[in-house]
Chains A and B, each alone.
Chain A
Amino acid sequence: MSAIPRLDGGSRAPGFDRAADLQKEPAEVPDPATTPVPAELRSAIEQAMERYPDPRSATIPALHAAQELHGWCSPEAIEQVACVMRLTPAYLESVASFYDMLETAPVGRHSVYVCTNISCSLRGADELFEAVRAAAGEDPDFNVRSFECLGACDIAPMASVDGVYVGPLGAEDVPQLIEDVRAGRPVLPEKQLVRRACADPEAGA
C-alpha cells in the first residue's frame, strides 16, 4: 500500500505518515498458549502489575522491561507485554509511541542523550551534540540523540549516558566518553553529577 502523500512537514503525530493496512484484521489480545514469553520478563511485568490498584498502570514499567530485553519495543516485545497484561498490542503501541524513552525502532544498546534545550544550548550543547554524533560515527552500538531538558542545567552542557548524568562537557571530553562506553567503564567519573556538591554556598556538608 502506498504512503499517503503529505505536505512537507505536515502532521507530526508519530506513525501518522505510515498508512494503516485496512485489509488486515485488528490484532487481539494475544493467546498465552501460542505466545511464548521469557520467564524473567513475565515475572518482571507481573511484579509491576501487583504494585498498582489497577494493573494497567504497569504499562510503562512493563514496556521498559521488555525494551531492556529486546533492545526496543519491537512487535515481538509488544506482543509479549500484551499477552501478560491482557491488553491489545495496539493499545501498547499507542503508549510506546508517546514517550521519548520508549524506542519504536531498533537502536544501539548504549544510549547517549545530549541535552540541547535552552540552558544547555546557551552553553554550547548543539556543538557538543554534533561532536558526540561524529565521534560515535556509524557504530551500531550507539544511540546518540539530542534530548529535551534533562533537568541538569547546572552542569550544562551535559549528557545522559546509559542513564548516568555527566557534565559540564566540552569537545575535549567526547573521545573519552565514547571510549569509556565502548570499554564498559564508568563514564567520565570526574564529571558525573553524583559527585557534584550543591552550588549554594551556605548549604554545605
Chain B
Amino acid sequence: MSSKLLFDRIDEPGLSTLAVYERRGGYSALRKALAMAPEDVLSELEASGLRGRGGAGFQMGKKVSFLPKGSMEKYLVCNADESEPGTFKDRELMQKSPHMLLEGIVIGSYAAGANCSFIYIRGEYVLQADVLDAALAEARAAGYLGEDILGSGHSLSLTVHRGAGAYICGEETGLLDSLEGKRGNPRLKPPFPANQGLYQGPTLINNVETLCTVPTILRMGGSQYAKLGVETSTGTKIVSVSGQVRRPGNYEITLGTPSREIVYGLAGGPPEGREVKCWFPGGSSSPVLRADDLDLPYDFDSIAKAGSMLGSGAIIVVDDSTPILDVALKVAKFYRHESCGKCTPCREGTNWTVKMLERIDSGEATPMDLDIMASVQEHIIGNCLCVLGDAMAMPIGSMIAKFRPEFEAHIEAARARNGLGAAGALAGPAPALAQGAL
C-alpha cells in the first residue's frame, strides 16, 4: 500500500475523466460531506490541522471559520496561479486529477457557505485549464456542480478563469483585483478577504493542493489525517524539487521527512562530483539554507526555526559550480520584473538591488555595497502592502549574510579585472557613491 494520498496512482490512464475517478471512489467524500451539517465538515477540517499549501501555511479550517455567518453572497476562489519559481505541484495535480480539485472545491464551498466559486489559473497553463474545463463540464452534467448538488440543497457555480501572466496575481488580493478585471495590484489589508474579498463579499481563497487534500480528509476523518506528519505540520505535502539535482520532479512526502532524504534520496542529489552549496526550501522567496541544514526535518516549524520557510514546498538546489552572485541576480531580476510598482520600497528596492548586484559583476562595487544592499533589504521587509518585496529581500539578505566572503571575493576579482585597486584598501564611500551616481 502506497502512502500516497494525492499522488496515489496519479498516472493511471484516464484519471482526468469522471468515469475513472468515480470508479476509484471519487466524489464519495462529497456525498459524505453533504450528508453532514456544514459545521461538522468545518470541524473535520479544523481537526485535520491542514495548513495551507500555497505559501503562508495558514490553517485551512481556521481560515474557513473566519468567514462571517449569514446569508450574504460568499465566494470561494481556488488559487491556481502557481508562479513561485521552483513550484510546479499544482500543475501536476490539475492536469492529472482535476476531479480531485473540483471535489475539494465543492466540499470547501459547502463548509464555507459559498455559492459562487472560481479557479484562477495562470494563463500559461493552457493544457491544465483545458483539462479543468473538460472536467468541469463532466461534473456539471453528473450533478456534482450547479443547482441543488445531489439533492442536498447546496448550489455552487464554478468558473475557470485564465490569468495572463503576472506573478503578483498569486498574492490573494492581487488575484482578487485581477479576477475583478483590473490590474493585479494588491490591496491594503485589513479588511482581509474573509470579510471583504471578491466583489466586496466574504471570500475564501485556497491553494490547489490544499483543496485537493480536502476529499482525503473527509474520507479519513480529520483526526486520523492529523496523525500523519508531525504535530504542527500534519499530513503529506507535495514537494517540487528542481535545480541542480539528478531527478527533478514532484514528490509526495509526509511532513517531517528529513530534507536530506528528499534532496538526495528522492531527487538524487547534485550531479556526480558536486556538492550542495545552498538550497531554497520553499521557492525562490525563501531565505537560502546551507548544506548542513539538510538534516532538518522538512516541516513548517523546523524550517521556520532555521530562519527560512516552507513556502510552497519548492526545493531549489544550487550546487557548488554556481557562483552565488548569479543566483542572487536571477532572483532579484525576477522580483524587479514582477513588482507591480504600487509600493515604493518594493518597486525601488528590487530595482536598486539588481543594479547593485550588477555593479559587483562589473567591478564597480566595494564591500561597502554589500552593507548598503543588506540595509536596502531590511527597509523593504514589512513596509509594503504585500510580501513581494519581502520575497526578494529575504533570500537576498540571507545570501549576503551567509555567503559574504564569496561576494567579497567576487568584488575583488571583478575590480582586478577592471584594473581598479583593491577595494579593501579604500577608505570612505565607494567612488561611484561619492560622485552621486547612486
Contact = CB atoms under 8 A, between A and B. Distances in A.
A131 interface: no
Interface string A149-174: 11111101000100111000000000
Contacts of B415: none
Contacts of B159: 51-52
A203 B181 contact: no
A124 to B, nearest CB: 11
A155 to B, nearest CB: 8
Interface residues of A, number: 53
A34 to B, nearest CB: 25
Interface string A179-205: 000000000000001100111111111
A151 B87 contact: yes
B181 A153 contact: no
A94 B183 contact: yes
A101 B169 CA distance: 13
Contact of B11 (A57, A165, A203): A203
Contact of A198 (B7, B123, B161): B7
Interface stretch (B77-85, B143-151, B302-310, B422-430): B77-85
B249 A148 contact: no
A148 B7 contact: no
Contacts of A57: 161, 179-181
Contacts of A201: 266
B331 interface: yes
Contacts of B9: 203-205
A205 B12 contact: yes
A121 interface: yes
A118 B7 contact: no
B164 A113 contact: no
B298 interface: no
A98 B13 contact: no
A64 interface: yes
A198 B85 contact: no
Contacts of B123: 60, 64, 99, 101
B247 A199 contact: yes
A9 interface: yes
A150 B81 CA distance: 10
Interface stretch (B88-96, B188-196, B365-373): B88-96
A160 B164 contact: no
A152 B183 contact: no
Contacts of A147: 124
A54 interface: yes
B184 A64 contact: no
A113 B199 contact: no
A160 to B, nearest CB: 6
A143 interface: no
A102 interface: yes
B207 interface: no
Interface centre among B162, B164, B314, B340 (most CB of A within 10 A): B164
Contacts of B318: 122
B20 to A, nearest CB: 11
Given A60-B178, A198-B92, A149 B199 contact: no
B13 A54 contact: no
Given A118-B334, A200-B252, A98 B166 contact: yes
Interface centre among A52, A53, A149 (most CB of B within 10 A): A149
A61 interface: yes
A59 interface: yes
Contact of B240 (A13, A52, A153, A197): A153
Contact of A101 (B7, B92, B164, B338): B164
Contact of A119 (B73, B179, B242, B347): B242
A119 B243 contact: yes
B181 A56 contact: yes
Interface string B298-330: 000000000000000010101000100011001
A25 interface: no
Contact of B124 (A64, A98, A151, A202): A151
A99 B12 CA distance: 36
Interface in B375-423: none
Interface in B125-169: 125-127, 159, 161-167
Contacts of A13: 341
Contacts of B240: 153-154
A184 B192 CA distance: 48
B2 to A, nearest CB: 5
A199 B248 contact: yes
Nearest to A119: B242
B122 interface: yes
Nearest to A67: B164
Given A9-B355, A153-B240, A203-B11, A198 B322 contact: no
B65 interface: no
B124 A153 contact: no
Nearest to A162: B126
Interface centre among A61, A94, A102, A148 (most CB of B within 10 A): A148
Nearest to B131: A194
23 contacts: A12-B336, A53-B116, A56-B181, A60-B161, A60-B178, A64-B123, A98-B166, A99-B165, A113-B124, A123-B244, A148-B334, A151-B122, A151-B124, A153-B88, A153-B248, A153-B314, A154-B249, A160-B124, A163-B126, A164-B126, A199-B251, A204-B9, A205-B11
Given A56-B181, A203-B4, 11 more contacts: A57-B161, A60-B178, A98-B184, A99-B165, A119-B248, A123-B244, A151-B91, A156-B242, A160-B124, A164-B126, A200-B252
Interface of A: 9, 12-13, 51-54, 56-61, 63-64, 94-95, 98-102, 113, 117-119, 121-123, 147-154, 156, 160, 163-165, 193-194, 197-205
**7 shortest A-B CB distances, which residue pairs?**
A199-B249, A153-B242, A100-B165, A99-B164, A163-B126, A59-B181, A101-B165
